[in-house]
Structure 1
């Protein structure tokens, strides 16, 4: 006799299985690859303290709270705990909308920390123009530092700026790649415009080429940009 088809999966689906469905939904909604990687990484880290193999229907608020207590006992960074739980809350909200579960967990409030900022002396060192015989990478990093101080944009935004996005005449730059996915137009100060003009004369390239590229004219990876800034700071004793 053939086995009867039932809806048991609805009750037996594990937390991990539902999370995979959640990720598929995120893809369908057009979330960025970086966001998706973050979600996957956060669940992986959370799974060390929370059993994600159990059915979602068996998950309780107290089990999540026990996981938080365990993470705190292991002295995980409060910001890391907050990130993991923020992702899990988004997942549980989706589960509630789909009718899979009705669990609400409170927001975890990490202790506020004051981030150390650059001193006036350090900024002076960073903004000092490199020697004329410097490498292209050092010269580009100098421009990047100025650009970041002028706009305060995210690393992913600055990596995606193309030559055509910079309007030197109007003293503005177009951000096509933003967290909100909305195109933004940002004004540029006169000093940065002058330095960008010199930089773009050296950088050359096609309108669609990336403005802040590597020495071969290719798009900088996120890690390459981070290391370039770190190296630039260290070279100046900052």
Structure 2
């Protein structure tokens, strides 16, 4: 049973009580369990820099600055990690401002150096996407090969891919309905003919009941994220590819899309970015790759 929070005067509200109300509000707004867990974990670190039994109105911009300095010096966090913590605490404090628990002030992310994102090279993809001998390989190996083809062919996140069911794939209209995404908005994305052929053959072996999850565990149920991370790591290692990140397939999809002349607006829709600025980062993250055929397309040359 959820703990009941009784507050008679917002002036008496403690930092801890305010955060409990914040989490309650997030629960009412149907934020995911994963998001709530992150908010609670990050608040736990934040509570090391404040007394959570102090009144909420004692928090100021200086409190946030102290938190950043703590993360940098005590936890040795880099800029990206610090900004991750800041987003959680900012969400909490902006809620407090909206409720008039504390005066309003701006909370800005710190400047972080954006590194060029890694992708799979053409040579690595050639090794990974070479079809295994179905007659001699295990179903797990075949399934992992199909999974990597799916990731490269859709740009899906891991969690999104594992939530796809057979009924979500429309082979007639060549679309895939993504029922569960990071931002909780259903999407319909194109299904390429090459991926359709791979999935058709795979589902004949896996089973094509409408409510079956496409990527399953050994019992035919929905696949586990950690298990598939391990499967990809093992599969890649066996093919001489050191890189093992599932998310690199998403980066690679975006890079190949851009280098092939795809427009950024459709890329935004396919990747499911709610903000175009996030997609624009993909245009800037490939470094030397964007210089390929530069003279051929450059107006001056």
TM-score by length of 1: 0.91
Structure 1 position 56, deviation (Å): 1.1
RMSD over aligned Cα atoms: 1.9
Residues 124/46 of structure 1: CA separation in 2 closer, same or farther (3 Å cut): farther
Q: Which residue of 1 aligns with 2:282?
A: none
What are the within-5 Å matches in structure 2 for residues 161-200 of structure 1?
Answer: 161-200=164-203
Structure 1 position 9, deviation (Å): 5.0
Q: Which residue of 1 aligns with 2:120?
A: 118
Structure 1 position 228, deviation (Å): 1.8
Structure 1 position 53, deviation (Å): 3.7
State whether residues 146 and 192 of structure 1, in contact with CA within 8 Å, keep that contact through their aligned partners in structure 2: yes
State whether residues 165 and 212 of structure 2, in contact with CA within 8 Å, keep that contact through their aligned partners in structure 1: yes
SS in 2 for 1:128: coil
Residues 51/103 of structure 1: CA separation in 2 closer, same or farther (3 Å cut): farther
Gaps of 5+ in 1: 1-6
2:228 is the alignment partner of 1:220: no
Q: Which residue of 2 aligns with 1:15?
A: 15
SS in 2 for 1:174: strand
Q: Which residue of 1 aligns with 2:65?
A: 65
Q: How many residues end up aligned between the 2 structures?
A: 233
SS in 1 for 2:176: strand
Provide the rounded CA distance (Å) in 1 between the counterparts of 2:234 and 2:43: 32
Structure 1 position 45, deviation (Å): 2.8
Q: Per-residue displacement from partner, 1:22-67 (whole Å, max 9, x unpaired)?
A: 0110110111111111211221233334443432111121121022
What are the within-5 Å matches in structure 2 for residues 43-58 of structure 1?
Answer: 43-58=43-58
Q: Which residue of 1 aligns with 2:259?
A: none
Residues 54/137 of structure 1: CA separation in 2 closer, same or farther (3 Å cut): farther
Q: Which residue of 106, 109, 128 corresponds with 2:108?
A: 106
Provide the rounded CA distance (Å) in 1 between the counterparts of 2:49 and 2:232: 35
Provide the rounded CA distance (Å) in 2 between the counterparts of 1:117 and 1:53: 47
Q: Which residue of 1 aligns with 2:38?
A: 38
State whether residues 217 and 224 of structure 2, in contact with CA within 8 Å, keep that contact through their aligned partners in structure 1: no
Provide the rounded CA distance (Å) in 2 between the counterparts of 1:222 and 1:39: 21
Please say which of residues 132-141 and 76-85 is displaced more in the overlay: 132-141
Structure 1 position 146, deviation (Å): 0.9
TM-score by length of 2: 0.73
Q: Which residue of 2 aligns with 1:4?
A: none
